[in-house]
Structure 1
Amino acid sequence: MRNISDIIEAHLKKIIERNQQNQIEIKRSEIADQFSCVPSQINYVINTRFTKERGYLVQSKRGGGGYIRIQRVVNNDETALIDELIRVIEPKVTQAVALAVIERLYEDEIITEREAKLMHTVIKRETLAFQLPLRDEVRSRILSAMLETLKYEEA
């Protein structure tokens, strides 16, 4: 069974997909009321599920007329996207950020589900049985190498 964060994320993504500008403006309190949760739950979803690594820009305006704008970044140039992701993950990367990068590649149909699973297996902490910070550095190097390969496979 999916948890409330998954449900809220799916709801917001569905709204973004339907919007021709790939963005939405929401009021945190209204979404919290809609899902019968506290507004901090909405913050959690936005801060963890709508990140730069996953291909989203988030802006917020505080105050009475405040809003949160979530925009899906559409990248028409796969090479430029891969270069940007490499910049994000170097010189070291956590497992969570690495997984977000892999998920973005899958969602943008740059890699297949099978490739995503293989990449995930290679970068997870159980596979990279090193102490921190070495583990995050090795993960970055491995993921960067895979991304570079994708970049040249597409060319």
Structure 2
Amino acid sequence: MQSQNMSDTIESYLKAILAQQQQIEIRRAEIADRFNCVPSQINYVIKTRFTPQRGYVVESKRGGGGYIRIVKAQLRDDESSLALMRANVPARLRERDAQVMTQQLFDAQVISQQTGNAMLATMSHRTLGVADSRLEEMLRSRIFIGFLDSLRYE
């Protein structure tokens, strides 16, 4: 059995808390002390694992009384939620992020499993078959935005 790396461990810890409540407020230094790591490790985890594309809103306040607030966004089946997701699709979309965002749509019952699988197949590296990763990610982003736009008019 393979052990988790530190980033995975921190992510799991924060997600376990978020499973019990809608939002959490943390202090970087406290979490870093808890996991015996540097505070920049906490920044890395939050920046890469708690993104709008993955269904999170992150707010921070710097200074002595500073905090980082992580809110689990609830995707609703309405046009404003789809528009919010659309607004947060980057110009270059990695395949893994497309998978996570598609899973969010499925979990929120916005799309069926069959639709989700079709979306994933359409956006896969194998299907796109573009040698230039930058071009592939740009194409994937445009395709995902097209899917989101089509969902607004069901």
Under TM normalisation by the shorter chain, which class is it? 0.7 to 0.9
Q: Distance in 2 between matches of 1:72 and 1:102?
A: 16
- Over the matched positions of the two proteins, sequence identity in percent amounts to 42
Offset of residue 97 of structure 1:
4.1
Q: Which moved more, 1:43-52 or 1:27-36?
A: 27-36
Counterpart amino acid of 1:55? G
Match of 2:11 in 1: 9
CA 41–114 in structure 1, closer or farther in 2 if over 3 Å, else same? farther
Normalised by the length of structure 1, the TM-score is 0.76
| Cα-to-partner distance string for 1:62-119 (whole Å, 9 max, x where unaligned) | 22322111112224343322222233337x3321543342243244343456654543
1:93 aligns with 2:92: yes
Q: Is the 8 A contact 1:82 1:151 kept in 2?
A: yes
The 2-side partners of 1:36 and 1:117 are apart by 40
Unpaired runs of 5+ residues, structure 1, are: none
Number of equivalent positions: 150
Aligned to 1:68, what secondary structure does the other structure show?
strand
2:88 aligns to what SS in structure 1? helix
Seen in structure 2, the aligned counterparts of structure 1 residues 109 and 3 have a Cα distance that, compared at 3 Å, is: farther
Question: Alignment RMSD, CA only?
Answer: 2.7
Segments of structure 2 that go 5 or more residues without pairing to the other structure are: none
Which residue pairs with 2:82 in the alignment?
Answer: 82
